[in-house]
Amino acid sequence: MSSPVIETVIGTGKTGLKVATDLVPSSIPRPVASTGVVVVGGLVLLSLLKSIVSTAVTLVVVGGLAYAAFMYAKKSDDSGSGGDGASDDDSLAEAKRIMDKYK
């Protein structure tokens, strides 16, 4: 019932485990060497995953702070232009006047 992709990943993992276990000196029993390879591989994988997640979280936080600063700066710029919405209405009326002129 398993898919070919899962079977391929499991087969590749078993092959990688066998090759890595063969790198361990033969004086160490194979089950112990295999367990050691799995533990060390898991620790390396966990360290790599931690680093990737930490980088992603840092990028999200910095991006969020930059966005918040941008929105704050934009809000403070808009508040200095009158703030009652009249300038938007004037701009819209001006745009309609220009469009009517070229019809």
Give the lowest-confidence range in 45-49, 56-60, 61-65, 93-97: 93-97
Give the chain as a DSSP string.
---HHHHHHHHHHHHHHHHHHHHS-TTS-HHHHHHHHHHHHHHHHHHHHHHHHHHHHHHHHHHHHHHHHHHHHHHHHHHTT-SSSHHHHHHHHHHHHHHHHT-
Residue 67 confidence (pLDDT) above 90: yes
Question: 61 versus 85: which is more confidently predicted?
Answer: 61
What is the token pair recorded at 1?
Answer: 């019932």
Q: Where are the beta strands (DSSP E) in the chain?
A: none
Please tell me what DSSP assigns to residue 27. T
Render pLDDT for 27-44 as a digit per residue (tens, 0 to 9): 999 999 999 999 999 999
Model-level pTM?
0.57
